[in-house]
Amino acid sequence: MNELIHILPVSLILISAVGLMFMSMYENKFSTKQYITVSSVVLIVALVFTFIPLGELYAVRPYNNIFNDVLIFDSFSNFFNILLILGTLLTLLIGENYFRSNKYFKGEFFSILLFALFGMMLLANANELVTAFIALEIASFAVYVMVGYDSQDSKRVEAIFKYLVLGSFIGAFYLLGVVLVYGATATTNLTEIATYISTHSNSELTLVYIGLTLILFTFLFKISAFPFQQWVLDVYRGAPMIITAYMASTFKIAIFSFFLRAVLQDIEPLIDFWDSIIYIIIILTLVFGTWLAITQKIVKRMLAASSIVHTGYLLLAFIALGQNIDAAYATVFYLIAYLLSALGSFGIISHIISETKVRVTYDDFKGLAKERPYLAAMMTIFLFSLAGIPSTIGFIGKFYVFTEAINAGYILLAVLAIVATFVSVYYYFKLIAMMYFYPTKEECLDNDFNDKRVSTYAIAFLAIITVVGGIGSAIVFFIPALNIDTLINMTQIAIQSLFIKS
Amino acid sequence: MSADILSFIIFLPAVVAFGLMITTKHVETVRNIAFLTTTVILALVLKLYIEFEPSAGMQFVTNVPWISSYGINYYIGVDGFSLTILMMIAILIPTAYLLLWEGRTKGYWINMLLVQAGVTGSLLALDVILFYFFWEVMLLPVFLMIGIYGFGDKVFTTIKVTVYTMLGSLLMFVAMLYLGVTYHAEFGTWSFQYDSLTQITSLSYNEKIWLFLAFLSAFAIKIPIFPLHTWIMETYKNAPTGAVFLLSSIMAKLGVYAIVRFLIPIFPEIYVEFSSWFVFIGLFGLIYFGIAALMQDDIKRMFAYSSASHLSFIAAGIFSLNVFGINGALYLIIAHAIATGALFLLVGIIHDETGYKTIKDLGGLAKQSPIFTTIFAIMLFANVGLPGTNGFVSELLIIFGIYEFNHTLGYISALTVIIGASYMLWMFQRAILQDREGEALKFRDLKIKEIVGLAPWVILVFLMGIYPDIFIDKFEPTVTHYLNDILQIGAAK
């Protein structure tokens, strides 16, 4: 019975996804609003279940004889499940306006969204390479479909095509990697691979090294690090705005959940082998991402390009893992910070676009502050957070990453990352300048907007969290609940649960 | 209560600002409440000033964990140095409100409140990360003020200011993290409190120099010290009066303050070793900016250079390694804030009323507005250091300090005072006194509330000039503590 609790959220999502699929057969009977309500309720229920074991240290492998250890349920996966569900829920709520004003979002879309979430949660729970692959593909395929959701739009068709072909191609690398690892170790279970690695000398591990490096390529592709970043701009640009937000934040978290587990729990010694490769990749990711971000004129593309830079920061924390385990907390914390700010910024833009459809480039955002001061203020908060300005959670995230990088001895990389941050101030603040310092363009004027919507409240909620996460107890030190330390403690418990041998 | 008074002073403006932002749209209500807030703060600071015991240590300390996993604390306190500057800010800001009274929008006042919160916070923060937090927070409202309410090519100006200050800040940020990590490596625990960071012994000489320069770059840009000054030209010209006032009379002083608060205790030997360089750079800046000011036609730009010139003088005093120089520098921080602040606000009034910014367009103001002219003249004299004003006391002390540091430099610094006097008086003669040919300039005299606003400044100019001891006594122990305990140089007094 106890074991049921652990698998309940994942199975609930799966069942509801199937349920929604059946619901969508009766297209005319339900409105988009009803689909959104049903999916939100499901997500909230799942969230409640994941919150029950929050803050305790555990690791279980339920129904050992049925699942054969392919899935593991521990504080780590639980923590990531919370993030993933929360990310999906927020995406849904922020997108409310967007989904309702674009008629092509039919019922099955919400079923696909839940399937994507199911895949991602499975990925966070996967303890075995092939299961991880299946989970990854479930999530990826759902995302492919969502990227190309409006087949009338040629940009979207291009986006789905590019993403599908490249994604499947890189998936083949992963499989090849798994095969090589299996060939050497005769297992695909992470724990057993770890035992194999620790009991064999370096010269016997060549095949494992090659296999794991191929798997690393998949990881780098999915998080859009250099040299696999080419698809990002077009795919992000082509996808519906809210899906872009989903990919940039929630999907990235799911990818990290598995690879962090793999690296931390099992193949930690190998990170030294990757050290110099990742070192160069970080430099190129930062430089290239920054350059791309500066040169964009379309806001959505700028945010997409800047997400490459954020990947660079994440990798910076990732490489520091080899030297000290504390860097893992930094990675996780940064993921949370980025989830909030990216969802917020993409969300606002999708909210605005869904009504006016004319705000695309920087120029189109001129004078937004006069028209809709609250939206502009919230956008400013998210951009501050992305740029790492103090008093936002983005600052704390960067603080951790840079501290751990310096602590691990990567001072040059930290300085480079800070230079990238410095440049990022330029392209983020440019948008703020557009919103505040210019009069509105006439063709963008639209007085019929209605900001009293679910999406606005969801965005406002995110904005508040972004600020509270940055200031935390400094301003409200008499309210212990709103403490950054609590969040850090939870990330620490999550990471530590990886090291429980059960 | 007395322990929390500092937090209250810091956060009251911010809380009021956010409250006003979401509740009312009425400009006058916003302004009145904002003004009321600043007077409440003034009252609190006065209470603090009276309760403060003149001694070297920190008082009214609050130290609670903020992010305890990294040893970052919400650690604030006040000593003689910060108290003096806090007092100055508390007096200057409400009077500035009175002079900026008419025709401002809601955002203007809210931004002013936010700046005050940021400035006070960075003044009182004793944890470097907390300091960095407030340091950045105070920049953002100014960024918005210049961009929204500025003139001319305001967007370019905003971006230039932001880029400059952010560059400095981020270099400082790296240095802070590096210090924190070094502390962690040496002591096994995390701490970013400045008094813990002073205990670090494991830094090599080269590391110290790099870190020192990284910190200094942030502060020097803010002051600005030659050659990091190029942002001030456009900014002072294109920014609205309120922003110029805040930048020149308050934020620039925080740059100086931060040198004393963080650089001297953390890197005392580097500070002593390179002091002669910085005295030299300071004096060079004094002369360079002075000559540049002489050549300006735009009155705001002239004041910008004049302000930079005096700030260089302050920097020279700070690095002069003796009690005269440092006391004088601190005194000049106050004197300069009062004089320059008032002058910028008065020029702001000229600009708002007549639309003229160049010196040659003005003239004959003295006849139409005697009170304006009188106050303008008093501030001008304080600025050039006429005996009897606070400017005289501070310049004299700095010149003594530099003389003791190095005789030749002392003579030079004494002579350079004449540059300041010449551009100021020349400008006064042309812009205010001399009659302009042709049509008469329409200009009103000061209103009652503006006179009330400026009155405390005028009183302070003379009070500080005639009887400096009541002020110097409050911060003297702190200065001697710095020299004796931290720099281990016998105080000269």
pLDDT at A472: 64
Percent pLDDT > 90 in chain A is 10
Band of the pLDDT at A180, cuts 50, 70, 90? very high
Residue range B371-389: mean pLDDT, rounded: 84
pLDDT at A179: 92
Q: Between A149 and A175, whose confidence is greater? A: A175
Query: Which of B70, B130, B162 is nearest residue A403 as measured by Cβ atoms?
Result: B70
Q: What is the pLDDT of residues A455-468, one digit of tens each?
A: 888 888 888 888 88
- Gap between the Cα atoms of B297 and B427, Å rounded: 9
- Choose, out of B143, B178, B204, the residue to mutate when testing the contact with A (most A CBs < 10 Å): B178
- Span of A13-22, B88-97, B471-480 with lowest mean pLDDT: B471-480
Whether the CB of B213 is below 8 Å from some CB of chain A: the reply is no
Across the interface, whether the CB atoms of A436 and B144 are under 8 A apart is answered yes
Q: Between the CA of residue A206 and those of A10, A190, A263, A281, B237, what are the distances in Å?
A: 37, 17, 17, 22, 66
Query: Which of A329, A429, A488 is nearest residue B162 as measured by Cβ atoms?
Result: A429
- Choose, out of B22, B24, B67, the residue to mutate when testing the contact with A (most A CBs < 10 Å): B67
Q: What is the pLDDT of residues A379-407, one digit of tens each?
A: 999 999 998 888 888 888 888 889 888 88
Residue with tokens 């992305």: A386
B153: DSSP letter: S
B158: chain A residues, CB-CB within 8 Å: 433, 437
What sign has the CA pseudo-torsion A424, A427, A428, A432? positive
Could you tell me which chain A residue has the CA closest to the CA of B154? A437
B133: chain A residues, CB-CB within 8 Å: 390-391, 395, 474
Across all residues in chain A, what is the average pLDDT?
83
- Span of A321-335, A433-447, B154-168 with lowest mean pLDDT: A433-447
The HSE-up count of residue A194 (CA atoms within 13 Å, CB side) is: 18
3-state secondary structure of B127: strand
pLDDT at A267: 58
Give the B window 132-171 contacts with A, CB below 8 Å. Answer: 132-137, 140, 143-144, 147-148, 154-155, 158-159, 162-163, 166-167, 170
Return the H-helix or E-strand segment holding B73. Answer: strand B72-78
A329: chain B residues, CB-CB within 8 Å: 69
- pLDDT tops 70 at residue A339: yes
- Choose, out of A429, A478, A492, the residue to mutate when testing the contact with B (most B CBs < 10 Å): A429
Residue range B377-401: mean pLDDT, rounded: 85
Band of the pLDDT at A268, cuts 50, 70, 90? low
* Separation in Å, CA of A350 to nearest CA in chain B: 24
Look up the pTM and report it.
0.88
Q: What is the pLDDT of residues B329-355, one digit of tens each?
A: 888 888 888 888 888 888 888 877 777
Give the B window 62-81 contacts with A, CB below 8 Å. Answer: 64-70, 74
Band of the pLDDT at B1, cuts 50, 70, 90? very low
Residue range B229-249: mean pLDDT, rounded: 81
Residues of A with CB under 8 A from a CB of B: 329, 377, 384, 389-391, 395-396, 399-400, 402-403, 406-407, 411, 414-415, 418-419, 421-422, 425-426, 429-430, 433, 436-438, 472-475, 477, 484-485, 488-489, 492
Residue range A278-282: mean pLDDT, rounded: 88
- pLDDT tops 90 at residue B376: no
pLDDT at A88: 92
* Separation in Å, CA of B204 to nearest CA in chain A: 16
- Gap between the Cα atoms of A112 and A100, Å rounded: 17
Phi, psi dihedral angles at A26 (to 5 degrees)? -100, 65
Residue type, B237: K
Percent pLDDT > 70 in chain B is 96
Query: Which of B144, B158, B173 is nearest residue A418 as measured by Cβ atoms?
Result: B173
Domain ranges of chain A: 3-498
Q: Decide if B112 contacts B66 (C-beta within 8 A).
A: no
Q: Which two tokens stand for residue A367?
A: 């004078």
Band of the pLDDT at B493, cuts 50, 70, 90? very low
A402: chain B residues, CB-CB within 8 Å: 173-174, 177
Across all residues in chain B, what is the average pLDDT?
82
Q: What is the pLDDT of residues B32-60, one digit of tens each?
A: 888 888 889 899 888 888 888 777 678 88
Q: Decide if B267 contacts B211 (C-beta within 8 A).
A: yes
pLDDT at A357: 64
- pLDDT tops 70 at residue A502: no
- pLDDT tops 60 at residue A481: no
Q: What is the pLDDT of residues B170-198, one digit of tens each?
A: 888 888 888 888 888 888 888 888 888 88
Q: Decide if B427 contacts B299 (C-beta within 8 A).
A: yes
Query: What ipTM does this complex have?
Result: 0.84
Residue range A433-450: mean pLDDT, rounded: 73
- pLDDT tops 50 at residue A94: yes
Angle between helices A373-387 and A393-407 (to 10 degrees): 0
Band of the pLDDT at A119, cuts 50, 70, 90? very high
Q: Is B103 left (phi over 0), alpha (psi -120 to 50) or beta?
A: left
- Span of A79-83, B18-22, B114-118, B281-285 with lowest mean pLDDT: B18-22
Q: Is A183 left (phi over 0), alpha (psi -120 to 50) or beta?
A: alpha
B3: DSSP letter: T
- pLDDT tops 90 at residue A218: no
- Span of A262-266, A447-451, B151-155 with lowest mean pLDDT: A447-451
Q: Is A409 left (phi over 0), alpha (psi -120 to 50) or beta?
A: left
DSSP of B241-304, one letter per residue? HHHHHIIIIIIHHHHHHHIIIIIHHHSHHHHHHTHHHHHHHHHHHHHHHHHHHHT--BHHHHHH
Across the interface, whether the CB atoms of A474 and B147 are under 8 A apart is answered no
pLDDT at A196: 85
Band of the pLDDT at A478, cuts 50, 70, 90? low
Q: What is the pLDDT of residues A326-337, one digit of tens each?
A: 788 888 889 988
B167: chain A residues, CB-CB within 8 Å: 422
Q: Which residues of B211-224 are buried (b: 16+ CB within 10 A; e: fewer)?
A: bbebbbbbbbbbbb
Percent pLDDT > 70 in chain A is 92
3-state secondary structure of A361: strand
Q: What is the pLDDT of residues A201-215, one digit of tens each?
A: 777 888 888 888 888
